[in-house]
Amino acid sequence: LATIKELEERLETEQARVESLVDDASAAEIREAIKDLKKLWQDTRKAQKKVVALLMRNKASDLVGKYDSMQENMQKRIERLSLTDTSELEALAEKYDAQLVIVKEAEQAVKDAHDTFDDDTEAFKQAQQTLRQEAAALKEILREFTSKFNELK
């Protein structure tokens, strides 16, 4: 974040310098200054996107950690219903486990895509979209499990 702040400050300084050149510089000097300003602006945007991507990557890791703990909670809930037929809950738990593996693979793809973010931002976006879709499927299984659990308790 400090890097972004520094780049933004440099950008503002460069912009002020370009604006001051307008009155007393030649057209070639102004073009060169504008070109430098544009390059600095592009570098700033690139750095911002990279930081946002890192935040998204970390959020994905946190979510997968929560999904892992939900898996443990599902097993505990099944165990609490010892006198009831829990075959449907166990089937949903197995389905959850299988989907969790897919979500973890999607999370790893996001991490891998982040490592090559400078070269291919589109791959990161695609990996992130896949993770969202797989996580949504996982949440749906969890909703089904919770609904069935509430029926049985």
pLDDT digits (tens, 9 = 90+) for 69-96: 999 999 999 888 877 888 999 999 999 9
Does 137 or 57 have the greater pLDDT score?
A: 137
Which element (helix H / strand E) includes 76? helix 27-80
**Distances, alpha carbon 133 to alpha carbons 45, 58, 115, 126, in Å:** 27, 17, 21, 11
Q: What is the pTM of this model?
A: 0.76
Write down the residue that tokens 């090559």 correspond to: 116
Among candidate residues 141, 48, 131, 136, the one with its CA nearest the CA of residue 94: 141
